[in-house]
Structures are given as C-alpha cells and as structure tokens.
C-alpha cells in the first residue's frame, strides 16, 4: 500500500491550519490559572501528547468519512475526480477500516480525559459522519463544519481541565470556539465557490450555489467579522486589562481585514483554493501569535 495515497487521502496540507488553531487553543487554555493549578509538568506533557494523538485520529476520521460519503459525487466533479477514492487508489474497505480505527482511538482517549470529554467526542464523531450529507439538504452545511471546530475547542479545554471546567472557563472557551468556528465557516464558503456551477447542476446546496458569488463573499466576510467580535469580547470582557487586550487583538484584526479584502478581490474560481488556504493559515497564525502573547503577558503581570 502506497503511503503517498494515504497522505493524499487525509490531505495533510489542509491539516496545517487545524493544527495551528488547536495549538492556539491549548496555549489559550494554559493561560487560565485554574488549569495551570490542576496540571503538573508531567501531567501537562502527557495530556498534550495524548491530545495530539486524539486530534490526528479525529481529523483522519473527519476527512476520510467525508471522502467515503462523497466518492460518487467526487467522481463526477472534474475538480475532485482525481482524488484517491474516485481513482480507486485505495480500497473502500481500507478507508472504512481507517474510519473505524480512528473513531475508536479518538473516543477512547477522550474518555480517558473525562466522561464529559468522551461524550463530546462521540457527538463530534456523529456530526462528522452527518456533515457530508448536509450539502444535499441545506446551504447551512458550512456552519455544520464550523460547529465541528467549536466542539474541538471545547474538547481541547475539557482534556486540559477535567476537574476545573467551571463557567469561568466555559464562557471564554465558547467565545474562542465561536471565533474559530466562524473563521472555518467563512473560508469554507469561499472554498465552495470552486464548485458553484457543478453544485447547481447536481442539485447540491451551498451558499455560493444558492445565492451567487457576491452574496457568498458578503456572508463569508460577515462570518469573519463575527469571529473578530467574539474574539474582542473574549479578550476585553473576560480576560485582561485593556492594554494587554490591545496587544493581543492587533494582529488577528489586521489579518481578518486583509482576508476580507482578498475575498472581494476574487476575480475567478481558479484562484479560490489559494485564497481559502491563505485565509485559514494567516488568520490561524495571527491567533496563535496572539495567544502566545496573551499567555506571556498574563504570566508577567
């Protein structure tokens, strides 16, 4: 079995922004004194290592089950017809086995952290299995993907704070989860613009297919604005003094404004994937930098 086909199946390139967002989430969680008090160095390292393994299997589950359920559609779409399953480069049986193993490992590790973490992981698995079919019924499919990332943020927090998951942590974690979810939702809308004509011909629902390019760009931009508002609320209302908050929000604000500007400069569908990738990566990196800054400033003040 060619490892290159497996790498192509799980789309490692697009795992990068997921890794950055989850790294930012971990750093953000560690800025809470309640969580740091609970974690010894040994326990913190083991939790992060186990959490990283859980993340790898969770993402593998999500991307592979999506390609399994979409394989017939992908076969008809010129943009996706060269993917692994439409080209029969890996067997369907192997891919299903990979999904089963990934789900078992992800859920098992999550229950190891706490029962609530395990329950959230089961919910996430259910939604990941349901998500590929949402495009057949509603243009809200982009929001479902965003909600998966919202759950991922909560699971990350739960793994690090099973004994101290109070409202003082739940509310900021949720605001951060909303911020991440809206970024993913907005960029997924932009990504779907590549298939606007195919989706219309095939009777599939997406915001670009249902409402057109201009409205899709406006909705995607609005998602990024909501993301920024959620993050600003998180930093200024719940976390820290204004001067610390100002240092923590400058970079993400600039990146979101830049990304929205890039959305409106889209001339054709040929460069949509590039804008999607850059939008996710640059915003994710800006948040990672800001969370590191926030952690350092909170520890030194």
User: Using CA atoms, how far apart are residues 148 and 46, in angstroms rounded to an integer?
Assistant: 24
Q: What is the pLDDT of residues 10-25, one digit of tens each?
A: 888 778 888 999 999 9
The tokens describing 301, both together, are: 């003040």
pLDDT above 70: residue 242: no
pLDDT greater than 70 at residue 219: yes
Tell me, what's the pLDDT at 277?
75
Residue 280 confidence (pLDDT): 78
What percent of the chain is modeled with pLDDT above 70? 91
Secondary structure (H, E, C), the chain? CCHHHHHHHHCHHHHHHHHHHHHHHHHHHCCCHHHHHHCCHHHHHHHHHHHHHHHHHHHHHHHHHHHHHCHHHHHHCCCCCCCCCCCCCCCHHHHHHHHHHHHHHHHHHHHHHCHHHHHHHHHHHHHHHHHHHHCCCCCCHHHHHHHHHHHHHHHHHHHHCCCCCCHHHHHHHHHHHHHHHHHHHHHHHHHHHHHHHHHHHHCCCCHHHHHCHHHHHHHHHHHHHHHHHHHHHHHHHHHCCHHHHHHHHHHHHHHHHHHHHHHHCCCCHHHHHHHHHHHHHHHHHHHHHHHHHHHHHHHHC
Judged by average pLDDT, the poorest of 20-24, 45-49, 160-164 is 160-164
**229: Cα within 13 Å, side-chain hemisphere:** 7
pTM: 0.92
| pLDDT over 60 at 159, yes or no | yes
Domains and CATH numbers, the chain: 3-300 (1.10.357.140)
Q: Who has greater pLDDT, 293 or 245?
A: 293
Of 36, 180, 181, 67, whose CA–CA distance to 131 is shortest?
67
Residue 190 has pLDDT above 80, yes or no: yes
Could you give the CA distance from residue 156 to residue 196 in angstroms, rounded to a whole number? 34
Q: What is the chain's alpha carbon radius of gyration, rounded to the nearest angstrom?
A: 19
Residue 51 has a pLDDT of 92
pLDDT at 174 over 80: yes
Q: Residue 1 pLDDT > 60, yes or no?
A: no
Percent of the chain's residues with pLDDT above 90: 58
pLDDT band at 240 (very low <50, low <70, confident <90, very high): low
Contacts of 85 (CB under 8 A, 6+ apart): 9, 67, 68, 71, 74, 92, 95
């Amino acid at each position: 079995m060619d490892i290159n086909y497996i790498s192509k199946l799980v789309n490692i390139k697009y795992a990068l922004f997921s890794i950055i967002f989850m790294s930012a989430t971990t750093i953000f969680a560690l800025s809470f004194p309640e969580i740091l008090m609970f974690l010894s160095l040994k326990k913190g390292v083991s939790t992060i290592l186990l959490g990283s393994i859980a993340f790898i299997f969770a993402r593998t589950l999500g991307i592979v089950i999506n390609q399994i359920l979409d394989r017939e559609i992908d076969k008809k779409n010129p943009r996706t017809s060269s993917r692994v399953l439409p080209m029969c480069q890996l067997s369907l049986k192997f891919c299903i086995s990979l999904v089963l193993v990934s789900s078992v490992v992800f859920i098992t590790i999550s229950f190891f952290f706490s029962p609530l973490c395990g329950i959230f992981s089961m919910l996430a698995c259910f939604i990941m299995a349901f998500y590929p079919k949402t495009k057949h019924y509603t243009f809200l499919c982009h929001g479902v993907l965003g909600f998966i990332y919202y759950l991922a943020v909560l699971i990350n927090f739960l793994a690090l704070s099973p004994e101290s998951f109070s409202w003082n942590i739940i509310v900021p974690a949720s605001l951060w989860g909303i911020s991440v979810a809206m970024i993913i939702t907005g960029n997924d809308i932009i990504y779907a613009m590549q298939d606007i004509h195919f989706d219309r011909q095939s009777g599939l629902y997406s915001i670009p297919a249902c409402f057109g390019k201009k409205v899709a760009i406006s909705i995607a931009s609005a998602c990024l604005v909501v993301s920024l508002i959620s993050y600003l609320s998180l930093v200024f209302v719940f976390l820290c003094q204004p001067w610390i908050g100002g240092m923590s929000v400058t970079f993400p604000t600039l990146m979101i404004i830049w990304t929205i500007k890039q959305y409106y400069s889209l001339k054709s569908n040929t460069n949509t994937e590039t804008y999607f990738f850059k939008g996710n990566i640059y915003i994710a990196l800006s948040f990672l930098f800001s969370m590191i800054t926030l952690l350092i400033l909170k520890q030194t003040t």
